[in-house]
Structure formats: structure tokens, C-alpha cells
Amino acid sequence: MESAENEILSVVTDFVKGGDEQDIQKLDAVLHANYRNLQSGFFEQKGVFNIDKEAYLSLIEQKVFGGTPREIHVESVDRAGALAMVKVHLYRPTFKFISFIALIADENGQWKVVGNYPHTEPIVS
């Protein structure tokens, strides 16, 4: 049986790759029903954006989000019981993402992504 940390990292990897590959089924399998993506700014728009699971999957399906493979670097994994927070750095050629990904173990002990708190910044060469 995998350790909790390995299970958490596997779910985070599926979450990131599901977005990169615009794979709705992969994402649906790892997202909690109460998933939220909370971010400051939405492309050129300023402000705080709170995107629920249905809207997030729709943005992936419409190809507004995702579609570009990113390199994943896990900075930290913190866990307290059925809650976990993973800080990742994601790189693609023109952008760097720093995301705080929150997970919760469901009633069956399966880890699900309940929140993503991304920050993006351009890579200046």
C-alpha cells in the first residue's frame, strides 16, 4: 500500500497532467465535488476569481485552461489527518505557476483535490 504522501503526490500529478492534457475524465476522477480554484486575476482581468468544479471543467473543455505540458517541481507536502497542502512550481516555456493545492481524504480514504490556489508570472529571458 502506498504511503499517504505518495498517494497525495499521485493525485496532484494526475490533477496537473489532467489540465495539461485537457483530460476531463482524469480531472473529474481527482477533483472533489466541492472543488474551488481561487485566483487573483484571470488573464487580463483583475480581481479575485472563485471557480467551482463545473466551471473549471468547462474552462478546460473549452480549452481556455490547460493544453500545454508543464514541468512539475514539488516544493512541499504538509499533512494533518485527512487534509493536505502541496506547494508546486509548474513551468512551461513562457510562464511559471506557483500553486498551493489543497486535498482532502474522502470517506473511503481516497485523496481528492478540493482547492487550487495558483499564481502565474511570465518567465522573462
Q: What is the pLDDT of residues 46-89, one digit of tens each?
A: 888 899 999 999 999 999 989 999 999 999 999 999 999 999 99
Task: Tell me how far apart the alpha carbons of residues 105 and 108 are, in angstroms, rounded to a whole number.
Answer: 7
Q: Which three cell numbers stand for residue 40?
A: 487573483
Per-residue CA distances from 60 to 6, 49, 99, 123 (Å) = 26, 16, 17, 23
Residues, the chain: 125
What stretches of the chain adopt beta strand conformation (E)?
A: 31-42, 45-52, 71-80, 83-91, 95-105, 111-122
**What is the value of pTM for the model shown?**
0.91
**Fold adopted by 4-122:** Nuclear Transport Factor 2; Chain: A, (3.10.450)
